[in-house]
A and B are shown apart, each in its own frame.
Chain A
Amino acid sequence: MVAIRVAGLVKSFKVKLAVDGISFEVPRGQVCALLGPNGAGKTTTIQCLLGLTLPTDGTIEVLGHDVVKDRSAAIARTNFAASYTAFPWRLRVREILRVYAGLYDVADHRTAVARSIELFGLEELSHQPFQSLSSGQQTLVNLAKALINAPELLILDEPTASLDPENAFQARTVLRQVADETGMTIFITSHNMREVEKVADRVLFLSAGEIVADAAPTQLREQFRAEDLEEVFLTVARESRR
């Protein structure tokens, strides 16, 4: 079973080619990381997966649904978190989760909200307005929202960018635990190579809109004769600049 199927995805913006005909499949249950230097096309790929941006060419299937033709059905069992998004500033954490439970069509919103709050240890913050939280706490709320509908596919765009090491560890642990327990697929972009090495089963390296490597983290280290993923990243980034 495939969670994500991308075939010949091209996205161009006027003069800029952001994604240049990439194809890949992510099997269900896999934690797949999409890595690459700034401007490689990671966020554009994620936006296309979510149907926020329409592809110039190619097809995208999410959980068996064509994202362009049937976006709402494709995204219904998916969720998303990114470091650059926020929520209505005056809303309490519990209210935010209640609203998003509705948007994701969760029937038992009380249980879902309580579960998300518990998973990320947000009990003490649940009655605080979003604007009063630190950026790290806001990120945790974003992640709690991302699990509100017990998604089968979780798409994360640099989700832990503003977290301190302890909170990042907690977030990683929760996400990995939920993925192991439920078989949830995770598709993640990150610039934190240690994080990727810890959570990802597979890494796709994107450079100048093309996939230049696709393997498990250990295989990539061997392939590039590198000590860790960071060295792999640097090698790929430098090659792409030449």
Chain B
Amino acid sequence: MNRRRVWAVVLQNWYVMRRSPIRIFELFYWPVIEVVLWGFISVFLVGADANIPGGVGVLLGAVLLWDLMFRSQQELTITQLIDMWDRNIVNLYASPMRQSEYLTGALVFSVVRVMVGTTFLVVIADWWFGFDLLSVGAVLVPALVTLSLFGWALGLTIRAAVMRFGTNAEVLAWSMAFLLQPVSAVFYPVSVLPEWLQAIALALPTSHVFEAMRAFLASGEVHTGGLIIAFVGSLVYLGLAALVARWTYGRVRQLGLLAKPGY
């Protein structure tokens, strides 16, 4: 892997963001809306003496962690979509840049953006609603790592779909995570789902992470088993996504689609 090429991808994304107010705006706008919305719902539930295991901080913790997963996926996808919208993709792929370098550059830039956005949200949640993400305790680091890995797995898969089907597939960048949200046990336990949906939920690393977070906030107990399943599951999904991306790259070169920007 050539570091200069990876840095060039990072630099391009930085320039695009610096010149695009909407890219800076979106870094804060929707996540802040989410935190404020769920923050007030939490305040309301506290006032109504609602009996929520783990307390109302569960909701804000869930919003912050879900946002991290969603952003990890979305950032990875949007960097590629911008290149397609701008018709830059042919010039990029005609350069000696390898697919792995393109991806690594996008990943580095995405991680920085996710860190900035998440830090901002953590500060807002603490300042406005008194929720400290560190209260998630020992679950925090495994949750952050696992959700990032799973977000990248989704991002890679969507990038492959966009590469194969062009901008027709761009809707996945915004919708895929929301398709998984109801079965990810973000705001409620897996047990409230019908049995057939529970099977799907348990196959997703996200549900194990959110169950572990709730358990810790409720009892201080660390669900090590669930966290290990989630971590290993995320690695497996990431590996599968990498295989799909690699296969798709070969396929679009066979079909001659790389040279047809937007398809």
* A and B: interacting chains: yes
Residues of A bordering B, CB below 8 Å? 11, 13, 43-44, 47, 50-54, 71-73, 75-76, 78, 80, 82, 84-92, 95, 98-107, 129, 142, 145
Contact among A53, A75, A85 for B256, CB-based, below 8 A: A53
Most buried by B among A71, A72, A75, A82: A72
Q: Which residues of B contact A13 (CB under 8 A)?
A: 255-256
Within 36-60 of B, Cβ neighbours of A (below 8 Å) are at: none
Residues of chain A lying within 8 A (CB to CB) of residue B7: 102
Instruction: For residue A213, give the distance in angstroms from its CB to the closest CB of chain B.
Output: 25
Cα-based distance from A95 to B9 in the complex (angstroms): 12
- Main DSSP-derived SS at the A contact region: mixed
> What residues on B are CB-neighbors of A89 within 8 Å?
86
User: Please, which residue of chain B has its CB at the minimum distance from the CB of A91?
Assistant: B15
Q: How many residues of B contact A (CB 8 A)?
A: 34
B residues 79-101 in Cβ contact with A at 8 Å:
82-83, 86-88, 90-98
Distance in angstroms from B177 CB to nearest chain A CB is 26
Q: Dominant SS at the B interface?
A: helix
Q: Are B91 and A54 in contact (CB under 8 A)?
A: no
Q: Is the CB of B95 within 8 A of A86?
A: no
Q: A86-B88, A88-B86, A90-B16 given as contacts; is B11 within 8 A of A53 (CB)?
A: no
Which residues of B are interface residues toward A (Cβ below 8 A)? Answer: 2, 4-5, 7-9, 11-12, 15-16, 19-20, 82-83, 86-88, 90-98, 250, 253-256, 258-259, 261
Q: List 7 A-B contacts (CB under 8 A).
A: A52-B94, A53-B256, A71-B96, A84-B90, A88-B15, A104-B96, A105-B96
A72 touching B98 by the CB < 8 A rule? yes
Residue of B11, B91, B92 near A98 (CB, 8 A) is: B11
* Residue pair B96, A103 in contact (C-beta under 8 Å): yes
Q: Which residue of A lies closest to B86 (CB)?
A: A88
A85 lies within 8 A of B87 (CB): yes
Min distance, Cβ B157 to any Cβ of chain A, angstroms = 22
Q: How far is the CA of A194 from the CA of B97 in the complex (A)?
A: 35
CA distance A198 to B12 in the complex (A): 37
Inter-subunit contact B86/A50 (CB<8 Å)? no
A87 touching B2, Cβ below 8 Å: no
B19–A91 touching, CB < 8 Å: yes
- Tell me if B254 and A75 are in contact (CB < 8 A): no
Q: Is the CB of A53 within 8 A of B90?
A: no
Contact partner, B8, options A52, A80, A88, A99, Cβ 8 Å: A99
- Rounded to whole angstroms, the CA-CA distance of A91 and B9 in the bound complex is 13
- A11 and B255 alpha carbons, distance in the complex (Å): 10
Min distance, Cβ A91 to any Cβ of chain B, angstroms? 5
Contact A54 B250 (CB under 8 A): yes
- Judge whether B15 and A99 touch: CB under 8 Å: yes
B96 contacts A75, CB within 8 Å? yes
Question: In the assembled complex, how far is the CB of residue A215 from the closest CB belonging to chain B, in whole angstroms?
Answer: 29
Measured between beta carbons, the chain B residues less than 8 angstroms from A54 are 250, 253-254
Q: Return the 10 tightest CB-CB contacts between A and B, nearest first.
A: A102-B8, A90-B19, A86-B87, A53-B256, A75-B96, A103-B95, A80-B94, A99-B12, A76-B96, A85-B90
Interchain CB contact under 8 A, A91 and B16? yes
